[in-house]
Structure 1
Amino acid sequence: MRLDATFLATDAAVRNDSRGVPYMALRLVDRTGSVDARMWKLPKDLLGGLDGPEYVRVEGVTHEYRGMLQVKVERLTILGREEVDEEDYVPVTERNLAALAAEMESVGEELEDVHLKRLFDAMVADEDFWEAFCTAPAAKSMHHARIGGLLEHSVQCVRVARALAEIYPVDRDLLLFGAAFHDVGKVDELSWDGGGFSYSDRGRLQGHVVLGERILHRYVGRVPGFPEELELELSHILLSHQGEPEYGAPERPRTLEAMLIHHIDNLDARVAMFLEATENVSRGGWSNHENPLRRALYVPPARSGSAEEKEG
Structure 2
Amino acid sequence: DSVDRTHDSFKEGDVVRVQGFVTTYNDRKKININEGKGAVTPTKDFNLSDFLPQSNKNLAELYSRLLELVDGVKHEGLRALLEKFFKDDDFTKEFKRAPAAMFLHHAWLGGLLEHSLAVALTAREAAKNYAVDLDLLTAGAL
TM-score (structure 1 length as normaliser) = 0.31
Match of 2:96 in 1: 134
Q: Which residue of 1 aligns with 2:55?
A: 93
Once the two structures are superposed, residues 15-38 of structure 1 have per-residue CA deviations (whole angstroms, 9 ceiling, x without a partner) of xxxxxxxxxxxxxxxxxxxxxxxx
Aligned residue identity for 2:72: E
Measured after TM superposition, the shift of residue 134 of structure 1 is: 1.2
Structure of higher RCO (CA pairs closer than 8 Å, 6+ residues apart): 2
Aligned partners of 1:155 and 1:128: how far apart in 2? 19
Q: Which amino acid aligns with 2:99?
A: P
Task: Answer yes or no: is 1:157 the counterpart of 2:139.
Answer: no
Q: Report Cα offsets for 1:3-22 as digits up to 9, x if no partner.
A: xxxxxxxxxxxxxxxxxxxx
How high is the sequence identity, in percent, across the aligned residues? Answer: 37
Alignment-mate amino acid for residue 125 of structure 1: K
Alignment correspondent of 2:79: 117
Q: Which runs of 4+ in 1 moved over 4 A?
A: 77-80
1:126-172 per-position Cα deviation (integer Å, ceiling 9, x unaligned): 11111111111001123211100000001111110111111112111
What letter is aligned with 2:27?
D
| One-letter amino acid of the structure 2 residue matched with residue 152 of structure 1 | E
Name the aligned partner's letter for residue 120 of structure 1.
L
Unpaired runs of 5+ residues, structure 1, are 1-43, 47-76, 181-312
Query: Is 1:143 matched with 2:142?
Result: no
Q: How many Å apart are 1:102 and its aligned residue?
A: 0.6
Name the CA shift for 1:121/1:78 in 2 (closer, same or farther; >3 Å): same
For residues 89 and 166 of structure 1, the distance between their equivalents in structure 2, rounded to whole angstroms, comes to: 41
1:86–1:123 CA distance, 2 compared to 1 (3 A): closer
CA distance in structure 1 between the aligned counterparts of 2:49 and 2:74, rounded to whole angstroms: 41
Cα separation, partners in 2 of 1:118 and 1:139, compared to 1, 3 Å: same
Q: SS of 1:118's equivalent?
A: helix
CA pair 102-129 structure 1, distance change in 2 beyond 3 A: same
Amino acid at match of 1:103: R
Matched, 1:177 2:139: yes
CA 1:86/1:174 → structure 2, altered by over 3 Å: closer, same or farther?
A: closer
SS of 1:139's equivalent?
coil
TM-score, scaled to structure 2: 0.65
- Kindly indicate whether the alpha-carbon contact (under 8 Å) linking 2:49 and 2:109 is maintained by their aligned counterparts in 1: no
**Residue-pair matches, total:** 106
Secondary structure of 1:166's counterpart equals helix
Letter of the 2:59 partner, please give it. Answer: L
CA offset digits 1:159-207 (Å, max 9, x no partner)? 1011111111211111111111xxxxxxxxxxxxxxxxxxxxxxxxxxx
Aligned-residue CA RMSD (Å) = 2.6
What SS does the aligned partner of 2:129 have? coil
Question: 2:30 and 2:62 mapped to 1: Cα distance?
Answer: 37
Greater helix content:
2
Q: Which amino acid aligns with 1:110?
A: G
